[in-house]
C-alpha cells in the first residue's frame, strides 16, 4: 500500500490524517483521494487534470510535480507527500 501524507491545509477538504491507498500512478492516486473525499476535487488538479500551480507531490521524497507529474508511475509501496508551497503576499 502507498502511504500518503497530506498537509494540514488539505485536511480542510476531508482527510484528517495520513492515508493508506492503492494506485499505480500519481494521477490514479489523486483519483482515489477525490473519490473518497469529494471536496478534494479540483483542489489539487484543475479540470484538465493538471496539478495546480502551488501543489507539490513528492514520491519517496522526490518532487515529481514539475517533471512526470500526474503520470508518475507507482509500484505501490512508496511514501507520497502532497504539500502546498508557501507562497503569497
Footprint of another protein (CB under 8 A): 9, 13, 39, 42-43, 46-48, 50, 52-55, 84, 87-88
CB of 4 to another protein, least distance (A): 18
Q: How many CB atoms lie within 10 A of CB 66?
A: 9
With respect to another protein, which residue has the nearer C-beta, 24 or 46? 46
Smallest separation (angstroms) from another protein to the CB of 80: 18
Contact 7, 82 (CB under 8 A): yes
Our CB check for another protein shows the closer of 1 and 9 to be 9
- CB-based contacts of 39, cutoff 8 Å, min separation 6: 13, 14
**Which helix (H) or strand (E) element contains residue 8?**
none
Shortest Cβ 63–another protein spacing (Å): 16
φ and ψ at residue 6, rounded to 5 degrees: -115, 140
Amino acid at each position: 500500500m502507498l502511504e500518503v501524507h497530506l498537509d494540514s491545509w488539505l485536511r480542510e477538504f476531508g482527510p484528517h490524517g495520513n492515508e493508506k491507498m492503492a494506485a499505480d500512478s500519481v494521477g490514479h492516486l489523486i483519483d482515489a483521494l477525490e473519490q473518497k473525499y469529494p471536496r478534494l476535487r479540483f483542489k489539487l488538479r484543475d479540470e484538465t487534470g493538471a496539478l495546480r500551480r502551488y501543489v507539490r507531490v513528492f514520491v519517496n521524497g522526490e518532487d515529481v510535480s514539475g517533471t512526470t507529474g500526474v503520470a508518475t508511475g507507482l509500484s505501490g509501496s512508496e511514501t507520497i507527500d502532497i504539500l502546498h508551497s508557501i507562497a503569497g503576499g
